[in-house]
Amino acid sequence: MKKCFALLTGLLLVSFAGSLVAQDLDEILSNHFETIGQDKVLKVNTMTMKGKILQQGMELPIMLQMKRPEKVRMEASVQGQKIITSFDGENGWQINPMMGSLDPQDLGSDQVKEMKAMGDMDGDLYDYAAKGHQLELIGEEEMEGTPTYKVKLTKKDGDKVVYYFDAESYVILKTETTRTIQGVEQTFEQFPGNYKMVEGMAMPFNISSAYQGQILMEIVIDTVEIDQEMPDSLFVRPVK
């Protein structure tokens, strides 16, 4: 009888502990969404960001345009040439004069997957269960003296993202994304920072990307425009 009681008590404690973790995770998400103005993000139909990429001593002007549902177009100027990468919600294409052609070329499956994810304006964390993802709180960690919550997202396609939330402000300070590229599993880091308010939404205006501890590039956003006119034809592959 004592053994049964001890077993029952243990199971209850495990269940109770599990509910506490779930509640903490819900609180973290709730605070995060409140901080970034998720309710306003959901109402955004189009967004245009202009800025630059800092890489290997070069400064490359860029423009990123997004429109629901999942349409993305990115333009980058390199040595006077304009590189266009676009996804119309179903198909991805690119025009890259640096590759010796002005004709649009199909994006590879990995690039299409990345563009599609970029086109989710609401973000992977919002409504994650309905998207087929799993989410778990995996611990706490200090980042250069700042306490953070670590939350792991396992996406429907198997990719994994670990988010580091500032324990005080609940903005994201770092992400670690692990995905399989051409059959090889690789992990990339991103460090969003310099958050600014844009029409009630907190957005990072600086994002550094790193691989194996080395900074690869930094994106600096100068301006953000919300709900400007944006025709669907902008994202469609040109026909010659």
Tens digit of pLDDT for each residue in 94-114? 999 988 888 999 999 889 988
DSSP 3-state assignment of 211?
Answer: strand
pTM, 2 dp: 0.86
Say if residue 8's pLDDT is above 80.
Answer: no
Report how far residue 51's alpha carbon sits from residue 184's, in angstroms, rounded to the nearest whole number: 31
Could you report the per-residue pLDDT of 63-98, keeping only the tens digit for each? 999 999 999 999 999 888 899 999 999 999 999 998
Binned at pLDDT 50, 70 and 90, residue 13 comes out as very low
Q: Which helix (H) or strand (E) covers residue 225, if one does? A: strand 214-226
Q: What is the pLDDT of residue 79?
A: 84
Whether 197 has a pLDDT exceeding 60, the answer reads yes
Superfamily of domain 2-235: Lipoprotein localisation LolA/LolB/LppX (2.50.20.10)
The shares of helix, strand and coil residues in the chain, as percent rounded to the nearest 5, are 25, 50, 30
Report how far residue 12's alpha carbon sits from residue 5's, in angstroms, rounded to the nearest whole number: 10
| Res 182: pLDDT | 77
DSSP-derived 3-state class of residue 190: strand
Amino acid at 222: D
Residue located via tokens 């992990």: 187
Q: If pLDDT is split at 50, 70 and 90, which confidence band does 18 have?
A: very low
Kindly give, in sequence order, each residue whose CB lies less than 8 Å from that of residue 55, ignoring residues fewer than 6 positions away.
Answer: 216, 217, 218
Asked if residues 159 and 177 have their Cβ atoms less than 8 Å apart, the reply is yes
The per-residue pLDDT for 179 is 85
- State residue 172's pLDDT score: 98
DSSP summary character for residue 98 = G
Domain boundaries, the chain: 2-235
Task: Read off the pLDDT band of 15 (50, 70, 90).
Answer: very low
Summarised one tens digit per residue, pLDDT across range 136-192 is 999 999 999 999 999 999 999 899 999 999 999 999 999 999 988 778 888 999 999
From the centroid of its chain, how far is CA 62? 18
Q: What pLDDT, on the 0 to 100 scale, is given for residue 100?
A: 81
